[in-house]
Structure 1
Amino acid sequence: MWKQNREYIANLLEFCIKSKSHKDGKLLHARIIRTGLCSQTFLSNRLIDFYSKCDNPKYGLHVFDVMPERDVFSWNSVLSTLCAVNRLQDACLVFDEMPQRNVVSWNNLISAFAKNGDHGKALEMYGSMISEGLVPTHFTLASIFSACGVLLEIDFGRLCHCLAIKVGADQNIFVGNALLSMYAKCKCIGDAIHAFEEMAAPNEVSFTALMGGLKETRRVEEALEVFKLMHKTKACIDAVSLSSILGVCTRREGDDGLQRKMHGKSVHSVSIKLGFHNDFHLVNSLLDMYAKNGDMDSAEIIFQNMSKPSVVSWNIMIAGYGEIYKCEKAMELMGRMVFSGCQPDEVTFINMIAASVKSGNVKVGRQVFDKLVSPSLISWNAMLSGYSQVEKHDEAIMLFREIQFRNVKPDSTTLAIVLASCAEMALLECGKQVHAVTLKANLNSDVYVGSCLITLYSRSGEVDIAKSIFHGLPEVDIVCWNSVIAGFSHNSREKEAFNFFNIMRRRNMCPTQFSYATILSCCAKQSFAFQGRQVHAQILKDGFINDIFVGSALIDMYCKCGNVEGGQEIFDAMPMKNTVIWNEMIHGYAQSGFGGKAVHLYDCMIREGRKPDNITFIAVLTACSHSGLVSEGIRIFESMQIDYKVEPLLDHYTCIIDTLGRAGRLNEAEMLIRRMPCKDDPVIWEVLLSSCRIYSNILVAKRAAEELLSLNPRSSTPYVLLANVYSSMGKWEEVRKVREIMHDNKVGKDAGYSWTERNNELEGSQSYCHDWEVSNCLG
């Protein structure tokens, strides 16, 4: 009778647990106490479980405290209760006091640490469990794979995968999904696909995890194929899986946006067909997809049909208009948001700042920023980034000072942005102060900050300091390597740049487009033809040959090394040619004296609908100047403003003055100079004065020399050039007078340098010219 009564009450308690009937369960608890059954360990265990499941753990813990006898189930029940209410410290104390522990005990604690984000502790507990000889269950392994995915502990995860196969837990759907998710998060997509294929019956979680992994590794078509397979196998397609595939359909830089949008529209149609078009999370995913693809018309239709947009919905729309440079529309939306009663959050303000910056209106962005009563570091960084993007580096530095005055602790992003601004403005002392802040904040070892420090010191000529910073970093990524190599190149230390580039490759660090462009620039500057060809071979091997920046650097290298045909081959082979590529080839022809080919290529560029820029005109006008193509030069120069609305700069004027001067049209050149907005630049007059020697025009030469001396009396250039004019006419007495004036004014002549390549090595020589009668040495 007693036993039947106990089993009857136990069954009733089980029913209360399943139905979460808190009131009935408490009545049963009272009956247990009245009938003297509270000494029954079995019933007490059920009571602890009941109170835990009914969200009243305090009563359950009290039951445990008054139990006369406890078994392993009692301890596990209270341990589970403490874990459920996130009292992990108390749970650890209970765990340590347990007279006997089983797999359930370990699972409770491991799972609790994993769910609360302490994944490292979860892995540590798992190691202790294995060392005690216990065999993990599918619950254990699911938690461990989840922890490995978050921590990117792929090696440890693989070991656990082997153990899962050994104990036969790999076929469990929860373990399989956790394993698949781990490989996807660690971007081991091949292993993730294999894990998916090994699953007997993948569910919607499996498909969603695999699609997410494919999305992160930019394998868009494969992700869409997985979605099609999911639909074909009649797996349950829910709002989460639809949201995941919509994330695949958002355009990224360099992607085919039209193709992505078409896929997104197809998924949109499926969501309507399946009746998920009113799911709030999915609707926001649709908004995000259309906004990121620049289709704000479609986004507006969805947004207008929302009964009550959330702050997330408003933020997506504001960010979307910012992406297409419609700051006014973004501001209008923010006003509507406030009017509708939806309170903007910090993300709203950050999106608004970004929209203003992208539209070129940093002033509006600052006004939005100033409305923040207590901006977080993310907001400060957004505003700093805005100033940096529009090259208002002085404003960025001033804002950083304000950050310090407000005692806001900077992070690596803050310091990297302000260091980049210091580098752009060549403010070495200011940069050193920021460097001190990085040391104080213990962020000097951050690779992002480190690469910016390397750039700062390199651009300021302190290459050795930059090199010591590089060597002092505990870990260096490709950005750091690129920064130090670019620093050597910037300071004309090409041999060291090559050494670092070779060391980088030996350490299995894959060069990027920037790496190759920088090292090719070194080859071009020093005419390292042999090394340039070697780099070209490596570029072909690594698959960067069609990259625009690498292609332009190759063209520049071959042309500067005297191999214009090699540059032409690269140009012809480029599948996509932007203005940079056209400019580089035109400039290559100009440098090599092929003026006719340069002008012809320029005309081809125009016929193909390409719009020339400042650099294009400098290149083609240089070609006209060097090859004596006067009429073509004048035609192109006049078309700058008339046809292409490009305002001539000093370099353009210099080219056309040189063209006129070489053709002997010195008076026209002088008249043009006097009409120029930049006539006070000495370079223009130097070009004119040099041309006077060829045509022995002493009158124009004297006027040009007078202008130069008025601009810079200490320069030796006007004296030397004027002496050249006199010597070309055989007026040696005048040459002597110029030399005497130079001597009396204590003006000295600069040394000249020459470079040659011998046995793939660079050799240099320095010379001074003292023979004023040898005109080739003068100037």
Structure 2
Amino acid sequence: MQTRVSSAFISRALSSSSNLNELRRIHALVISLGLDGSDFFSGKLIDKYSHFRAPASSLSVFRRVSPAKNVYIWNSIIRAFSKNGWFPKALEFYGKLRESKVSPDKYTFPSVIKACAGLFDAEMGDLVYKQILEMGFESDLYVGNALVDMYSRMGLLSRARQVFDEMPVRDLVSWNSLISGYSSHGYYEEALEIYHELRNSWIVPDSFTVSSVLPAFANLLVVKQGQGLHGFTLKSGVNSVSVVNNGLLAMYLKFSRPTDARRVFDEMVVRDSVTYNTMICGYLKLEMVEESVKMFLENLDQFKPDILTVTSVLCACGHLRDLSLAKYIYNYMLRAGFVLESTVKNILIDVYAKCGDMITARDVFNSMECKDTVSWNSIISGYIQSGDLMEAMKLFKMMMIMEEQADHITYLMLISLSTRLADLKFGKGLHSNGIKSGIYIDLSVSNALIDMYAKCGEVGDSLKIFNSMGTLDTVTWNTVISACVRFGDFATGLQVTTQMRKNKVVPDMATFLVTLPMCASLAAKRLGKEIHCCLLRFGYESELQIGNALIEMYSKCGCLESSFRVFERMSRRDVVTWTGMIYAYGMYGEGEKALESFVDMEKSGIVPDSVVFIALIYACSHSGLVEKGLACFEKMKTHYKIDPMIEHYACVVDLLSRSQKISKAEEFIQAMPIEPDASIWASVLRACRTSGDMETAERVSRRIIELNPDDPGYSILASNAYAALRKWDKVSLIRKSVRDKHIKKNPGYSWIEIGKKVHVFCSGDDSAPQSEAIHKSLEILYSLMAKEGYIPDSREVSQNLEEEEEKRRLICGHSERLAIAFGLLNTEPGTPLQVMKNLRVCSDCHEVTKLISKIVGREILVRDANRFHLFKDGICSCKDRW
């Protein structure tokens, strides 16, 4: 009777023991009463020691009853090991159990399975599962839950789902294990699907369910469902649990709904470090830098931030360029005892650099015993940001000498630097180093090299890299097309664009922003329209930059009405939009409409900039609106307080010269507060040649050669003026100078688009398709023109030729005439023609085209280097001002 009383008393004492010391006293009592050999008390002691995190003591108890013949004792010790993270020991004793004559029961396996999960030992887990099947315990709820949890933790989700589906009975733990497994491994759609299955069952989710599924709602950005889950937490009361509220905060911040996150935060009764860390880091991700820093500073007494939060706030100081705050955070880290590892010091370097304190940034860098690649990148980036480009280059060279490992970020920074400096030698050195180190194969580095070579004038090398690349992305295609456009190699750019489309590469907005200007330069109207259709399909037409590019493209392709339609449909317009439209009107000689657009722009509240006035005066110049053009120039200075640049003065000189007010143009030049350049005198020279004022032409030619002797365009212009004066010695001197300096003149060429093909013609080229038919067609036209009184203007011939017939042959070979004749031969009578030329149309070709339009009864639209000319019934829209 006394033993029974003692046993009952000790059993209750064991159950109610509250600490390890008390348990040890009770254990001593068990030994003194001779009860330590009892399986019952031994099992209770093993469990209790395990509860107090003393598995070694659990093992001592087990050894006193070894060899254990009761599975209860084996289960207790295996459970003790597994519960305390002694997973290898748990599996070791499971092995010993299997070797003994004692058979495991269904209570053995949950702890064994937990040990397999803790060790991520899938092979052992599969073996245990096989043994469970052999013993028939697979239908047990707790065994099934343990298996689902094990496979879920290991990421073997198909096996976890198989076990789950085969369970005859499931409880909330079963569902939670599977949902948590899918969610934690990024299978958010599956996690959400299982959660919805749970909601359709009789089982009610708990706080663990909600905290497990919240990341799925957040990452799938299902806002309405997320709000519904929030409503469920309020109704069920699980919102009182911190882990749930923290999950709600993270979800709303992921949804980019900081106001909802703040509402949850304000309603939280209990907040922990995770709460504050979530809010601060979430604000930073949403670029709410000031709010993030404010929350950090105001709540430092409420929580202890972790290293991630502190370094995130430190980075925010860099964004804010707040040096004093950065130093305050740094001192806080020192006071709080944070270990300043290289990661933190790298951030410090970056922050000090962004705050403009390169001295402190360099001090931190120099103080680092172990510098990694990020350290070097941070200090090099700092010097680049501060404008000390030479020091950045020195550091990279030092990095190479010290055999530090550069990564793709290092190369991207320095390739960008060589691009900015146009330092081809340094860029080639980077390219060579990149090949040796294997960084060259990085896609972003290859893209940067393509851009670097192009901007350094070596587009051939850009294309070599492009053609050697195995993997291409949209940026690659955009970069190489942009390179071709920058270099003026539009034909290759067009080929690359076509290849990109054939390869079914999905374009982005940048693609369209590089291809539309190319279409504009080539006047590739058909391709431009196709690109416009693509823009509509991809939803980019409403973008402001795209609208501006479309206006330019259509205007330069001879489609002024289409430009205006794009302009009318734009919901937003900026100063670039209005400038594009004003310039478009100017190209077509519609000066009055350009002025009307300027007035409309002012009424819309857009403030004009200096570029608007260049376009506006240009439009007045090409429409003969001299007084209005001068009024615009004065308004720019007096009303808008814009200081004129050389381009504005050039436009005014062109305005006066084009209207044959040559003396006023010279007076204006003499009154200019800045030294006139060759472009200004060139306008005067062209006007002199048109008016026949050869005395002024000779004087101006000398001035142009003095100002810009190396520009082929100006040299040829002066040479032509001397040729008109029959001063062949001067012509010879200029041409010899051009040859000696290896200056290349841009050859004249024209092109016409018929059907789906662009046909290009060069001046004097007899190898063009249908050449014989073209020349016969032109001879017929010349004979008809002669009846109209046409006499070739031999002044346009800049060579010293005695025979008029030879001069006439040279003029007749100009590229635009060949293109027009080709168009007449290959289109139906009455079809309008559109011809593009890279240079300015000469006066004789201008006269010839007027006559051709009258003789054949067709509209001929010609775009030269200056503007559009619409020839109809023997009249040009430029009114002979070009």
Determine the structure 1 residue equivalent to 2:605.
Answer: 609
Please give the per-residue CA displacement for 1:174-226, whole angstroms capped at 9, x wherever unaligned. Answer: 6447536745874x765554333223333345445555445445555664454
**Partners of 1:349 and 1:368 within 8 A in 2:** no
Q: Bigger shift: 52-61 or 754-763? A: 52-61
**Partners of 2:43 and 2:73 within 8 A in 1:** yes
Given candidates 715, 729, 734, the residue that maps to 1:742 is: 734
> What CA distance in whole angstroms lies between the structure 1 residues aligned with 2:559 and 2:220?
40
**Partners of 1:551 and 1:570 within 8 A in 2:** yes
Given candidates 78, 101, 113, the residue that maps to 1:107 is: 113
Q: 1:450 to 1:764 in 2, by over 3 A?
A: same
Q: 1:347 to 1:239 in 2, by over 3 A?
A: farther
Q: 1:519 to 1:402 in 2, by over 3 A?
A: same
- What's the secondary structure of 1:199's corresponding residue? helix
> What CA distance in whole angstroms lies between the structure 1 residues aligned with 2:168 and 2:695?
99
Given candidates 260, 264, 269, the residue that maps to 1:267 is: 264
Shift of residue 270, structure 1, vs aligned partner: 2.4
Q: 1:744 to 1:488 in 2, by over 3 A?
A: closer
Determine the structure 1 residue equivalent to 2:322.
Answer: 327
Q: 1:158 to 1:598 in 2, by over 3 A?
A: farther
Given candidates 539, 542, 545, the residue that maps to 1:543 is: 539
Whether 1:138 aligns to 2:141 is: no
Whether 1:771 aligns to 2:786 is: no
Please give the per-residue CA displacement for 1:111-142, whole angstroms capped at 9, x wherever unaligned. Answer: 3256xxxxxx76x7777877889668334434
**Partners of 1:754 and 1:764 within 8 A in 2:** yes
Q: Which amino acid aligns with 1:463?
A: S
Q: 1:269 to 1:488 in 2, by over 3 A?
A: same
Please give the per-residue CA displacement for 1:731-753, whole angstroms capped at 9, x wherever unaligned. Answer: 5523x343333355464754223
Q: 1:178 to 1:561 in 2, by over 3 A?
A: farther
> What CA distance in whole angstroms lies between the structure 1 residues aligned with 2:125 and 2:844?
80
Q: Which amino acid aligns with 2:536?
A: L
**Partners of 1:146 and 1:182 within 8 A in 2:** no
Determine the structure 1 residue equivalent to 2:198.
Answer: 199
> What CA distance in whole angstroms lies between the structure 1 residues aligned with 2:475 and 2:297?
40
Q: 1:716 to 1:571 in 2, by over 3 A?
A: closer
TM value normalised by structure 1? 0.75
> What CA distance in whole angstroms lies between the structure 1 residues aligned with 2:390 and 2:844?
44
Shift of residue 549, structure 1, vs aligned partner: 3.4
Q: 1:332 to 1:165 in 2, by over 3 A?
A: same
> What CA distance in whole angstroms lies between the structure 1 residues aligned with 2:293 and 2:729?
79
Q: Which amino acid aligns with 2:297?
A: F
**Partners of 1:13 and 1:50 within 8 A in 2:** no
Please give the per-residue CA displacement for 1:519-577, whole angstroms capped at 9, x wherever unaligned. Answer: 33443333332233233223322222223333333333333322233233333333333
Determine the structure 1 residue equivalent to 2:758.
Answer: 762
Ranges in structure 2 where 5+ consecutive residues have no aligned partner: 766-795, 799-806, 812-841, 846-864, 866-882
Whether 1:227 aligns to 2:227 is: no
- What's the secondary structure of 2:179's corresponding residue? helix
Q: 1:47 to 1:749 in 2, by over 3 A?
A: same
Please give the per-residue CA displacement for 1:393-428, whole angstroms capped at 9, x wherever unaligned. Answer: 655544444544565534443333333333444444
Shift of residue 513, structure 1, vs aligned partner: 1.8
Determine the structure 1 residue equivalent to 2:301.
Answer: 307
Q: Which amino acid aligns with 1:107?
A: I
**Partners of 2:474 and 2:507 within 8 A in 1:** yes
Shift of residue 664, structure 1, vs aligned partner: 3.7
Determine the structure 2 residue equivalent to 1:470.
Answer: 469
**Partners of 1:224 and 1:245 within 8 A in 2:** no
Shift of residue 658, structure 1, vs aligned partner: 2.9
Q: 1:670 to 1:399 in 2, by over 3 A?
A: farther
> What CA distance in whole angstroms lies between the structure 2 residues aligned with 1:99 and 1:767?
97
Ranges in structure 1 where 5+ consecutive residues have no aligned partner: 115-120, 149-155
Q: 1:52 to 1:717 in 2, by over 3 A?
A: same
Q: 1:236 to 1:732 in 2, by over 3 A?
A: closer
**Partners of 2:348 and 2:361 within 8 A in 1:** yes
> What CA distance in whole angstroms lies between the structure 2 residues aligned with 1:160 and 1:676?
84
**Partners of 1:296 and 1:321 within 8 A in 2:** no
**Partners of 2:252 and 2:258 within 8 A in 1:** yes
Please give the per-residue CA displacement for 1:433-483, whole angstroms capped at 9, x wherever unaligned. Answer: 434554565544444444434444555421343224531x4xx55444544
**Partners of 1:598 and 1:623 within 8 A in 2:** yes
Q: CA RMSD in A?
A: 5.2
**Partners of 2:586 and 2:619 within 8 A in 1:** yes
Shift of residue 246, structure 1, vs aligned partner: 4.1
**Partners of 2:552 and 2:563 within 8 A in 1:** yes
Q: 1:719 to 1:283 in 2, by over 3 A?
A: closer
> What CA distance in whole angstroms lies between the structure 1 residues aligned with 2:56 and 2:234?
47
- What's the secondary structure of 1:756's corresponding residue? strand
Q: 1:702 to 1:6 in 2, by over 3 A?
A: farther
> What CA distance in whole angstroms lies between the structure 2 residues aligned with 1:184 and 1:777?
78
Please give the per-residue CA displacement for 1:606-664, whole angstroms capped at 9, x wherever unaligned. Answer: 43333445554554454344444444544555555666666655544444443343234
Of all paired residues, the percent bearing the same amino acid is 21
Shift of residue 34, structure 1, vs aligned partner: 11
Determine the structure 2 residue equivalent to 1:282.
Answer: 275
Determine the structure 2 residue equivalent to 1:371.
Answer: 364
Shift of residue 283, structure 1, vs aligned partner: 4.0
- What's the secondary structure of 2:567's corresponding residue? helix
Shift of residue 327, structure 1, vs aligned partner: 3.0
Q: 1:739 to 1:81 in 2, by over 3 A?
A: farther
Q: 1:429 to 1:264 in 2, by over 3 A?
A: same
> What CA distance in whole angstroms lies between the structure 1 residues aligned with 2:272 and 2:503?
51
Given candidates 680, 702, 707, the residue that maps to 1:706 is: 702
Q: 1:478 to 1:303 in 2, by over 3 A?
A: same
**Partners of 1:146 and 1:181 within 8 A in 2:** yes
> What CA distance in whole angstroms lies between the structure 2 residues aligned with 1:93 and 1:703?
105
Please give the per-residue CA displacement for 1:228-253, whole angstroms capped at 9, x wherever unaligned. Answer: 4533454324444444444566599x
**Partners of 2:704 and 2:718 within 8 A in 1:** no
- What's the secondary structure of 2:726's corresponding residue? helix
Whether 1:555 aligns to 2:561 is: no
Whether 1:733 aligns to 2:715 is: no
> What CA distance in whole angstroms lies between the structure 1 residues aligned with 2:89 and 2:704?
85
Q: Which amino acid aligns with 1:165?
A: D
Q: 1:303 to 1:622 in 2, by over 3 A?
A: same
> What CA distance in whole angstroms lies between the structure 1 residues aligned with 2:184 and 2:610?
47
Determine the structure 1 residue equivalent to 2:822.
Answer: none
- What's the secondary structure of 2:758's corresponding residue? strand
Q: 1:105 to 1:279 in 2, by over 3 A?
A: closer
Please give the per-residue CA displacement for 1:239-276, whole angstroms capped at 9, x wherever unaligned. Answer: 44444444566599xx8xxxx554455334423xxx24
- What's the secondary structure of 2:230's corresponding residue? helix
Where does 1:543-692 land on structure 2 (aligned, <5 Å)? 543-613=539-609, 615-637=611-633, 649-666=645-662, 669-670=665-666, 679=675, 682-692=678-688
Q: Which amino acid aligns with 1:371?
A: V
Q: Bigger shift: 344-353 or 415-424? A: 344-353
Determine the structure 1 residue equivalent to 2:851.
Answer: none
- What's the secondary structure of 1:236's corresponding residue? helix
TM value normalised by structure 2? 0.67
**Partners of 1:86 and 1:112 within 8 A in 2:** yes
- What's the secondary structure of 2:563's corresponding residue? helix
